[in-house]
Amino acid sequence: MKTINKHFLIALLLLTLSCKTKTNENYNLLHITMKNSRSGKLFLRVEDSNKWKEIILNDKGEYTDTLVLKGKTFGRIVFNDEKYAKPLYLKKGEPTRIVFDGGVNNSELKEGAILENEYISELSREASKIQEGADPSDCDNIDEKCDLLLKNSIKKSESIDSVFAKLYKEEVKSTIGVIKYLCTAKLEAQLLKQKMEEGSLSKGKPSPEFVNYESFKGKATSLSDFKGKYVYIDIWATWCGPCKKEIPYLKELEKRYHDKNIVFVSISMDAKADYETWKNMIKEKEMGGVQLFANEDQSFINAYGVAEYPTFILVNPEGKIVTARAPKPSSPEMEKMLGSLNLQ
């Protein structure tokens, strides 16, 4: 009986150690030191979570935590009033020790996945070079540079372990998306400035028209159909992340103002090939208001100098411009704007 117990205990001990070793592979001991902090606040987001966790530093400006890493192991650490973001690769089973210097918006990795994070830092530096030299009037040139960055980065990642290589490729593609977004944002600012200088988009000017856009219900719809009501227009696309984040706020506005003289119109700028995707998303998200499909007609958005999505526009009951760049539904300014209107 004693022999059986002894063997049983040994087996149990080995099983415990085996489980412990396997579990530890999903953990990362994170130690952060903050110097010269302007705000005294740090925020951490790990993996695919949309939630930011506030990091509370001790009296020495330090923070230690054990993170559970279930899937992807990329994190984002934001400091100095959320003006500086540090992408960080957290290697499972290894500690990470990083020092932030808020005085110069810089960071230094002291321990952890040094090589992998150097690749990420190099990616950020190359992206900054492309962005700083970006000519908003020549986005084709940006595309060429981004394609070269993607090609070179993928070639580099082949020398790294397969887990990181996969994540790194995703990070490169995400970075390229940001570069192109910022380029189009510059272009839009340029176009809008030009339109405003011309006076064509000033408050009180007749709004450019959209004509016979197909509605979700299959009806040909034009801006002139809404004469007598304010028209809040959402220019969006199904693939646009920021657009989709505004959907719940827009739905809430539609409910609250459904009996007022304002109509909420969403115009999808999706490609013709994504027509069914557009219809399915409207069903899945139970989107209200007037849903229109532009069918690749860009005359309306070009007249408004729109180069990025989402963009919001407000037109008055006489079909004249209230603002060519209205607040987004989630903005506190939206309530102020609606409160200033004569909504009956």
When pLDDT is averaged across residues 8-25 and rounded to a whole number, the result is 44
Task: Provide the 3-class DSSP secondary structure of residue 208.
Answer: coil
When pLDDT is averaged across residues 329-343 and rounded to a whole number, the result is 89
Residue predicted with more confidence, 173 or 256: 256
Residue 215 pLDDT greater than 90, yes or no = yes
The verdict on residue 4 lying in a domain is no
- Please give the Cα distance from 207 to 228 (Å, whole number): 14
Do 164 and 100 lie in one domain? The reply is no
Do 232 and 315 lie in one domain? The reply is yes
Residue predicted with more confidence, 161 or 255: 255
Note whether 67 and 90 are within 8 A (CB): yes
Q: Of 59, 57, 3, whose CA–CA distance to 30 is shortest?
A: 57
Average pLDDT of the chain, as a whole number: 79
Domain total in the chain: 3
DSSP 219: -
Last residue of a domain, one of 112, 144, 176: 112
Per the structure, the complete domain to which residue 292 belongs is given by 213-339
- Residue 33 confidence (pLDDT): 86
- Residue 117 confidence (pLDDT): 81
Instruction: State the CB neighbour count (10 A cutoff) for residue 310.
Output: 21
pLDDT band of 204, cuts 50, 70, 90: very high
Q: Of 246, 265, 264, whose CA–CA distance to 255 is shortest?
A: 264
Give residue-wise pLDDT tens across range 78-129. Answer: 654 455 667 788 887 888 888 888 777 677 888 888 888 888 778 777 777 7
Give residue-wise pLDDT tens across range 219-254. Answer: 999 999 999 999 999 999 988 888 999 999 999 999
Q: Which helix (H) or strand (E) holds 66?
A: strand 62-68
Residue 289 pLDDT greater than 90, yes or no = yes
Do 242 and 331 lie in one domain? The reply is yes
Do 180 and 82 lie in one domain? The reply is no
Strand partners, 233: 265, 313
User: Which DSSP string do the residues of 83-112 spell out, in sequence order?
Assistant: TEEEEEE--TTS-EEEEEETTTTEEEEEES
- Please give the Cα distance from 120 to 129 (Å, whole number): 14
The verdict on residue 146 lying in a domain is yes
The verdict on residue 124 lying in a domain is yes
Do 324 and 225 lie in one domain? The reply is yes
Do 43 and 78 lie in one domain? The reply is yes
Give residue-wise pLDDT tens across range 271-287. Answer: 888 899 899 999 999 99
The verdict on residue 296 lying in a domain is yes
- Please give the Cα distance from 173 to 166 (Å, whole number): 11
Lowest mean pLDDT among 157-161, 169-173, 201-205, 256-260: 157-161
Do 264 and 147 lie in one domain? The reply is no
The verdict on residue 163 lying in a domain is yes
pTM for the model stands at 0.52
The verdict on residue 12 lying in a domain is no
Last residue of a domain, one of 52, 83, 112: 112
Lowest mean pLDDT among 8-17, 317-326, 331-340: 8-17
